[in-house]
């Protein structure tokens, strides 16, 4: 993570402290004590935002809630109860904890002393008022036959209903929900994907319709999202494993700024610290990210799955590159763009995180090595003519792309020089993804190949579903990438102005043009389900007909089997 100097950290911390506090959310765990009764609070209170759990280990799990008092209180005394049964007859934890006003009345407890691979029920109490009952589970140890995860990303509240969250809350077969980021969006009420918010009745509160800049802004946006019934039920049903993408802070963030931050919006580092503080307060994560602790971490599910939760956004990302930066007299300066992209100092992970990952790959006792990160890792390169076509949204681009795909399918010796020229000069279409950092990607690929492990990469960010076979620059296989569609954010089909049939046609054409791409789905929202056994990994992309209707219609999932090697 970016190492702030002590002076800089104190200065920036003071800025955020002035906006509402910059201390940790504390909790304590004690031995069971059924006789303890929490005192009645001075004002009536409620648990409007439910409960949540996350970051399970073999002997503990992070438990979260938030209280809403009817009057001003400096803090609220709570009692946490954890039991092995829904009736709370067999208590294993009964502990006092505190929800402080200067931490937005959020309370987080790292509940320790639990048994490995065990399901638990938990609740928080304040006097006679009780929170909803949540369910969670600790990590298993030893030989494990199956592990199953739901992978989600990119949930935009005004863009549509959270049907994805609702279906996952109704499932009872998940070990955890892996959220790859864009848990919320920082835009104003008239910003990205808000066109139909009135139709859906999914408004931001009147005091939270601006772009998020301050600690209070971010806290209020979390409150909006966590009041959603589907998301609240999901948090209460399964433990979460969370990483951020960019919108938890600002669009296209890098270590020194963001695309969606202008000088007139104040000090960027203060804004980032405010966002990290709210992220830590509102989500069931263990790392103290608001104090500079790295978000990246690793969890082992028995001897089966080693899951690495990576940070490609905040800790080491170089400034973004985009095609308009290389426009010269209306034309793309390919040489300048290539030089910039190939700069060996450009990083997403940074050397510290990369070394940490390499060490984990070497030491892990699990067969499946899974990298849970934000952006597409595959080499998504297209002929220059195809890239230009994508820059002119509309259905007419499909015929041009199909022509190129048909040419590429022919043996090279059958092509004319003019046809070969049309297929030459491939370029990446998304410099915000790993394609904008190819030198570090090769460094990562070398570490993955050196480890000799079977690697799967999980990705989100694009709002569409993808399956790619990853290869290094020499064409050697590295791993398999599985990318989930969004929960509600619109995808490439909206940007390209394609209807469902046209998006389906594009999803057939792109794998013919992009060498590493095996399959994609470009018109649906949904989630990815990955199930690991000792013999194989089964991936299922679950897709929903629409997030714009109150009733969910789920389609037949697309499935992929990956054999253990």
Residue 16 binned pLDDT confidence (cut-offs 50, 70, 90):
very low
Average pLDDT taken over every residue of the chain: 93
Q: What are phi and psi of 36, to 5 degrees?
A: -70, 135
526 falls within a domain:
no
Residue 14, pLDDT > 70, answer no
pLDDT value of residue 3: 37
Residue 108 binned pLDDT confidence (cut-offs 50, 70, 90):
very high
Residue 34 binned pLDDT confidence (cut-offs 50, 70, 90):
very low
Residue with the bigger pLDDT between 544 and 16: it is 544
* Model pTM score: 0.93
Per-residue CA distances from 412 to 102, 203, 385, 513 (Å)? 67, 55, 18, 15
In the chain, the number of structural domains is 1
CB 271 within 8 A of CB 250: yes
pLDDT value of residue 163: 98
| Non-local CB neighbours of 452 within 8 Å, separated by 6+ positions | none
pLDDT value of residue 39: 74
114 falls within a domain:
yes
Q: What are phi and psi of 361, to 5 degrees?
A: -60, -40
pLDDT value of residue 360: 98
Query: Over the stretch 407-446, which tens digit does the pLDDT of each residue have?
Result: 999 999 999 999 999 999 899 999 999 999 999 999 999 9
117 falls within a domain:
yes
Residues pairing with 99 in the sheet: 76
CB 37 within 8 A of CB 112: no
279 falls within a domain:
no
* SS3 state at 144: coil
Query: Over the stretch 327-377, which tens digit does the pLDDT of each residue have?
Result: 998 889 999 999 999 999 999 999 999 999 999 999 999 999 999 999 999
125 falls within a domain:
yes
Separation CA 417–CA 403 (nearest Å): 16
What are the E-state strand segments in 28-161? 45-46, 51-54, 61-66, 68-69, 75-83, 91-100, 106-111, 119-126, 129-130, 134-137, 146-152
Query: Over the stretch 236-283, which tens digit does the pLDDT of each residue have?
Result: 999 999 999 999 999 999 999 999 999 999 999 999 999 999 999 999
pLDDT value of residue 94: 95
Residue 37 binned pLDDT confidence (cut-offs 50, 70, 90):
low
Query: Over the stretch 513-564, which tens digit does the pLDDT of each residue have?
Result: 999 999 999 999 999 999 999 999 999 999 999 999 999 999 999 999 999 9
Residues pairing with 160 in the sheet: none
pLDDT value of residue 545: 97
Phi-psi region of 475 (alpha: psi -120 to 50; beta: other; left: phi over 0): left
384 falls within a domain:
no
CB 532 within 8 A of CB 539: no
pLDDT value of residue 20: 32
Domain that holds residue 99: 31-139
Q: What is the CA angle 360-249-214, rounded to 5?
A: 135
Q: Tell me which of 55-69, 367-381, 385-399, 532-546 is least confident.
A: 385-399
CB 433 within 8 A of CB 380: yes
Q: Percent of the chain, pLDDT > 70?
A: 93
CATH of the domain at 44: 2.60.40.380
């Amino acid at each position: 993570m970016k190492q702030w100097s002590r002076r800089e950290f104190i200065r920036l911390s003071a800025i955020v402290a002035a906006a509402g506090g910059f201390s940790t959310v504390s909790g304590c765990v004690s031995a069971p004590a059924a006789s303890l009764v929490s005192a009645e609070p001075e004002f009536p209170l409620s648990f409007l935002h439910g409960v949540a759990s996350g970051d399970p280990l073999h002997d503990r799990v992070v438990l979260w809630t938030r209280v809403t008092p009817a009057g001003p209180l400096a803090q609220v005394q709570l009692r946490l109860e954890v039991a092995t049964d829904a009736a709370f007859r067999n208590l294993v934890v009964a502990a006092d904890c505190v929800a402080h006003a200067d931490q937005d009345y959020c309370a987080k407890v790292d509940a320790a002393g639990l048994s490995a691979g065990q399901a638990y029920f938990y609740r928080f109490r304040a006097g006679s008022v009780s929170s909803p009952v949540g369910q969670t589970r600790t990590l298993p140890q030893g030989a494990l036959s199956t592990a199953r995860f739901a992978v989600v990303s990119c949930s935009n509240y005004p863009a549509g209903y959270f049907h994805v969250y609702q279906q996952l809350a109704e499932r009872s077969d998940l070990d955890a929900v892996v959220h790859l980021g864009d848990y919320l969006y920082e835009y104003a009420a008239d910003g990205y994907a808000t066109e139909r918010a009135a139709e859906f009745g999914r408004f931001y509160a009147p005091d939270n319709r601006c772009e998020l800049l301050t600690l209070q802004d971010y806290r209020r946006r979390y409150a909006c999202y966590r009041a959603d019934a589907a998301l609240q039920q999901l948090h209460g049903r399964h433990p979460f494993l969370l990483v951020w993408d960019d919108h938890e802070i600002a669009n296209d963030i890098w270590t020194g700024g963001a695309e969606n931050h202008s000088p007139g919006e104040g000090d960027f580092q203060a804004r980032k610290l405010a966002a990290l503080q709210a992220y830590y307060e509102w989500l069931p994560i263990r790392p103290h990210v608001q104090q500079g602790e790295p978000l990246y971490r690793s969890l082992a599910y028995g001897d089966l799955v080693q899951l690495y939760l990576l940070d490609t956004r905040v800790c080491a990302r170089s400034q973004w590159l985009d095609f308009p930066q290389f426009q010269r007299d209306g034309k793309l300066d390919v040489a300048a763009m290539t030089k910039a992209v190939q700069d060996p100092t450009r990083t997403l992970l940074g050397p510290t995180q990369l070394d940490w990952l390499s060490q984990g790959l070497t030491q892990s006792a699990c067969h499946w090595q899974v990298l849970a990160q934000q952006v597409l890792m595959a080499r998504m390169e297209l002929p220059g003519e195809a890239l230009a076509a994508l820059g002119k949204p509309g259905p007419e681009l499909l015929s041009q792309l199909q022509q190129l795909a048909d040419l590429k399918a022919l043996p090279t010796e059958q092509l004319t020089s003019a046809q070969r020229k049309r297929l030459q000069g491939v370029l990446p279409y998304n410099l915000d993804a790993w394609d904008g950092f190819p030198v570090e990607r090769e460094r990562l690929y070398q570490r993955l190949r050196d480890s000799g492990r079977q690697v799967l990469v999980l990705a989100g960010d694009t709002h569409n579903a993808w399956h790619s076979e990853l290869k290094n620059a020499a064409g050697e296989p590295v791993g398999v990438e599985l990318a989930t569609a969004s929960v509600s954010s619109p995808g490439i089909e909206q940007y390209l102005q394609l209807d469902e049939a046209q998006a389906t046609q594009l999803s057939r054409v792109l794998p013919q043009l992009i060498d590493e791409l095996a399959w994609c789905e470009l018109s649906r929202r949904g989630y990815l389900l990955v199930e690991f056994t000792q013999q194989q990994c089964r991936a299922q992309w679950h897709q929903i007909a629409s997030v714009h209707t109150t009733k969910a219609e789920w389609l037949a999932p697309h499935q992929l089997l990956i054999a253990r090697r």
